[in-house]
Amino acid sequence: MANIVAIVGRPNVGKSTLFNRLTESRKAIVDDFSGVTRDRHYEMAEWIGKKFTVIDTGGFVHGSDDVFEEAIRNQVHIAIDEASVILFMVDVTTGITDLDDEIADLLRRTSKPVYVVANKVDHARRTHESAEFYAFGLGEIYNISSITGSGTGELLDAVVSHFPEEKEEEEVNLPKLAIVGRPNVGKSSLTNALLGKERNIVTDIAGTTRDSIRIHYNQFGNEFLLIDTAGLRRKNKVNEDIEFYSVMRTIKALEDSDVVILMLDANDGIESQDINIFHLAEKNKKGVMIVVNKWDTIEKDHKTTKEFESRIREKISPFTDVPIIFTSVTEKQRIFKVVEKAMEVYANKTKKIPTSKLNDVMLEVIQNYPPPAIKGKYIKVKYITQLPGRSPMFAFFCNLPQYIKEPYKRFIENKLREHFDFTGVPIQIYFRQK
């Protein structure tokens, strides 16, 4: 089950300000390496140890004024279907508008948790003014100021009360793979090609507590659950916001999976949306690999693959230790390689390095290249252990952990990758007091 919080509301009420506060990100991050402007409208957030994804629906409204009302209505419908909790944001300085009323009408019909968030309550005196929002008939009003952050703690306490303490353990312990990517890159073609014609495959239709379809794959010595997003496209809704909808589905599949197979169209390369998904997978500590599909449509010489690969690695930097595979689903080129690699990534994600081996290798690395002394003080690493967890985490016990700087951590990470193969897997490294 994915924990998705959607912020809905008309323009200018403060949705993106709240989004930034909850995710501590700036709206657009210009990446020095790639020159790509990352417009992040969805991002992982955490409150009292519970993780969830926040979506700023306003980020998906493009175009002129007359299209946005329609777009907002569409988003509210999608949020009602797909989100776990909905924050309906209104502006205390303007009071109720017609569009607010329309949104409230839609939200009154859902049984999903909806919180009315009165924003811009910057001073206590505005608390009284927000009482008018009780007229929506949507229950309690949460007064907040997105700019100062006041009131957001109480709101978040209420929001995360809907999320389970820990993700429930799965009844089956099979690797879960999700093929994600923009529309038309070839996700469903790949799914179909993998499953083949003979359906010795059991389809596990989504029940009430699960929200994606999982297909049990067991062929050629590989067994896993494929989380299907492509098959879940809603057929009967016209005019809906495809981009917003597909992002919602992608986030759910991503949260539900162990390994994310990010598929690109070779003709488009890697775009900012893809980088966002990649970043979200990394932040969620998922295994990741990249598949460049429709490779048959590209004119190639002996350098094409290398060049393509290095362009992608530049853009996903600094986490570049991920498999990149070039496929043609229609020509059946390297599609089983995708499965093999994904299973390798899963193995890397779940492997445990024996403590003695870890210490033998890494203590020597550190001896040969110790952390720089600071103010005449030397940092001594005593021993290293891999911590229990769903993805690789290592604790380096030493005398002065506070003196370890980011570049040294990166150096250690690279050495761990070099010696133990964690391709496709984010690693966490902690220096701790001993």
Residues that bind ligand GDP (CB under 6 A): 9, 11-17, 58, 119-120, 122, 145-147, 181, 183-189, 230, 293-294, 296-297, 328-330
Closer to ligand GDP by Cβ: residue 131 or 172: 131
| 203 DSSP β-pair partners | 215
Ligand-binding site membership of 27 (annotated) = no
Which helix H or strand E contains 107, and what residues bound it? Answer: helix 98-107
Residue 27 CA to residue 349 CA, distance in Å, equals 31
Residue matched to tokens 């994606």: 212
Ligand-binding site membership of 13 (annotated) = yes
Residue 54 CA to residue 18 CA, distance in Å, equals 10
Least distance between ligand GDP and beta carbon 148 (Å): 7
Residue 423 CA to residue 347 CA, distance in Å, equals 10
Which helix H or strand E contains 67, and what residues bound it? Answer: helix 65-82
Closer to ligand GDP by Cβ: residue 89 or 404: 89
The encoded tokens of residue 298 equal 């590209």
Least distance between ligand GDP and beta carbon 27 (Å): 8
Closer to ligand GDP by Cβ: residue 166 or 299: 299
Is 119 exposed, middle or buried (CB count within 10 Å of its CB: 0-12, 13-18, 19+)?
buried
Ligand-binding site membership of 57 (annotated) = yes
Residues in the chain: 434
Closer to ligand GDP by Cβ: residue 186 or 424: 186
Closer to ligand GDP by Cβ: residue 37 or 184: 184
Ligand-binding site membership of 9 (annotated) = yes
Task: Give the largest CA-CA distance in the chain.
Answer: 70
Ligand-binding site membership of 425 (annotated) = no
Cβ(211)–Cβ(1) below 8 Å: yes
Q: How far apart are the first and last CA of the chain?
A: 38
Least distance between ligand GDP and beta carbon 293 (Å): 5
Ligand-binding site membership of 119 (annotated) = yes
Ligand-binding site membership of 183 (annotated) = yes
Which helix H or strand E contains 356, and what residues bound it? Answer: helix 355-368
Residue 111 CA to residue 11 CA, distance in Å, equals 25
Closer to ligand GDP by Cβ: residue 122 or 421: 122
Least distance between ligand GDP and beta carbon 144 (Å): 7
Closer to ligand GDP by Cβ: residue 97 or 317: 97
**Nearest Cα residue to 133 out of 96, 93, 94:** 96
Helix (H, G, I), strand (E, B) or coil at 291: strand
Q: DSSP letter string over 291-351?
A: EEE-GGGS---TTHHHHHHHHHHHHHTT-----EEE-BTTTTBSHHHHHHHHHHHHHHHH-
Ligand-binding site membership of 280 (annotated) = no
Closer to ligand GDP by Cβ: residue 151 or 287: 151
CA 6 to chain centre: 14
Ligand-binding site membership of 231 (annotated) = yes
Least distance between ligand GDP and beta carbon 131 (Å): 18
The encoded tokens of residue 217 equal 């794959």
Least distance between ligand GDP and beta carbon 42 (Å): 14
Ligand-binding site membership of 318 (annotated) = no
Residue 14, number of CB atoms within 10 A of its CB: 23
Which helix H or strand E contains 158, and what residues bound it? Answer: helix 152-160
Least distance between ligand GDP and beta carbon 326 (Å): 10
Helix (H, G, I), strand (E, B) or coil at 192: helix
Ligand-binding site membership of 294 (annotated) = yes
Least distance between ligand GDP and beta carbon 312 (Å): 17
| 214 DSSP β-pair partners | 204, 227
Least distance between ligand GDP and beta carbon 58 (Å): 4
Closer to ligand GDP by Cβ: residue 88 or 217: 88
Binding residues for GTP: 9-16, 56-60, 119-122, 181-188, 228-232, 293-296
Binding residues: 9-16, 56-60, 119-122, 181-188, 228-232, 293-296
